[in-house]
């Protein structure tokens, strides 16, 4: 695992965006897995800035999403569909035919729908770079604690803790009880993982996920098994890491260790 520690959150956003941008330049038909949540918003803003200032071209990029709330239509302002349009797609030259997001109101049987999403990822050649956040309870996408490391795309019940955290953004609207999420096994098949966490609220869970035992109790610990996992943290999120000195050493060699971005 390659852990990069940046002094500030803004540097973390710019570092992540620059790695994604380099990957798009190296491989323009990049298949990019997107994550929602507050953490990656600044990364999307930096990518939009790069599109405006350097004409970073998204026309060949194919986008996938990690998860979505079940029961929310794509026009609901709380849906991840709306999130990605608001923070990214409406500002860049994404090709509408290349946007493959999980649906909150899929037609027909949910298990067949989930299998069809898995098939779609497979048929397109798999995800090259998957962006990830992490929940304070260690969840990855909506794989809540106790999720199997081999789990696939499926409907899942959100924990009370996750719904409580989400109520901050849902405000007076009730947080859905169910979501659809890529499984930990699905995520593990992406060629590169780019996990982000910022702020002291994430310090404890980052130490558990990055250096703790592999356990379904902390689904994000599954990334330790991935041969190409990059984790970008600010100083606060990195606070409880045992091997912080080594990560700081690695961070100073970012361009030597990742000369072409993430692909």
- Chain residues in the site for ligand GLP (CB under 6 A): 35-39, 66-67, 133-135, 141-142, 162, 166
- State the minimum distance, in angstroms, from the CB of residue 39 to ligand GLP: 3
Taking each helix axis from N to C end, the angle separating 80-87 and 41-54, rounded to the nearest 10 degrees, works out to 30
| Three-state secondary structure of 18-49 | HHHHHHHHHCCCCEEEECCCCCCHHHHHHHHH
Q: Please, are residues 7 and 235 in contact by the beta-carbon 8 Å criterion?
A: yes
- Classify each residue of 145-165 as buried b or exposed e, where b means 16 or more C-beta atoms within 10 Å of its C-beta: bebebebbbbebebbeebeeb
Cβ proximity to ligand GLP: between 166 and 216 the closer is 166
Q: Considering the complex, what minimum distance in angstroms separates the CB of residue 101 from ligand GLP?
A: 13
Which residue's CB comes closest to ligand GLP?
133
How far is Cα 209 from Cα 1, in angstroms, rounded to an integer? Answer: 11
Q: Which residues are CB-neighbours of 2 under 8 A, at least 6 positions away?
A: 229, 230, 231, 250, 257, 258
Write down the catalytic residue from 143, 144, 226, 234.
Answer: 144
If the CB atoms of residues 35 and 263 are measured against ligand GLP, the closer one turns out to be 35
Query: Known catalytic residue: 109?
Result: no
Please confirm, yes or no, whether 260 is among the known catalytic residues. no
Nearest distance, CB of residue 28 and ligand GLP, angstroms: 26
Catalytic annotation on 67?
A: yes
| Of 51, 62, 67, 87, catalytic | 67
For ligand GLP, the closer of residues 27 and 41 by Cβ is 41
The reply to whether 137 belongs to the active site is yes
Closer Cβ to ligand GLP, 4 or 56, answer by number: 4
Instruction: Determine the Cα–Cα distance for residues 82 and 70; give it in Å rounded to an integer.
Output: 14
Q: Which of 10, 91, 137, 236 is catalytic?
A: 137
In the set 51, 78, 87, 139, the catalytic residue is 139
- Residues that are catalytic: 67, 137, 139, 144
């Amino acid at each position: 695992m390659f852990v990069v520690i940046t002094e500030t959150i803004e540097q973390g956003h710019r570092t992540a965006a620059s790695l994604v941008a380099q990957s798009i330049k190296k491989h323009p038909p990049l298949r990019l897995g997107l994550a929602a949540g507050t953490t990656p918003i600044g990364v999307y803003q930096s990518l939009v800035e790069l599109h405006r200032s350097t004409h970073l071209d998204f026309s060949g990029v194919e986008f996938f999403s990690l998860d979505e709330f079940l029961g929310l239509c794509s026009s609901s302002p709380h849906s991840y569909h709306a999130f990605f349009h608001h923070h990214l797609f409406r500002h860049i030259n994404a090709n509408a035919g290349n946007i493959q997001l999980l649906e909150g109101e899929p037609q027909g049987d949910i298990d067949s729908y989930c299998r069809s999403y898995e098939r779609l990822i497979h048929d397109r050649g798999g995800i090259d770079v998957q962006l990830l956040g992490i929940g304070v309870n260690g969840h990855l996408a909506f794989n809540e604690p106790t999720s199997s490391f081999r789990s696939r795309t499926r409907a899942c019940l959100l924990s009370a803790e996750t719904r409580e955290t989400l109520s901050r953004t849902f405000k007076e609207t009730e947080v859905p009880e169910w979501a659809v999420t890529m499984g930990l096994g699905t995520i593990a098949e992406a060629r590169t993982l780019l996990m982000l966490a910022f702020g002291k609220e994430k310090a404890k869970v980052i130490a558990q996920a990055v250096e703790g035992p592999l356990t379904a109790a902390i689904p994000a610990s599954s990334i330790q098994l991935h041969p190409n996992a990059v984790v970008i943290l600010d100083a606060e999120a990195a606070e409880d890491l045992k091997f912080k000195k080594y990560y700081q050493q690695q961070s100073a060699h970012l361009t030597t260790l990742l000369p072409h971005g993430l692909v």
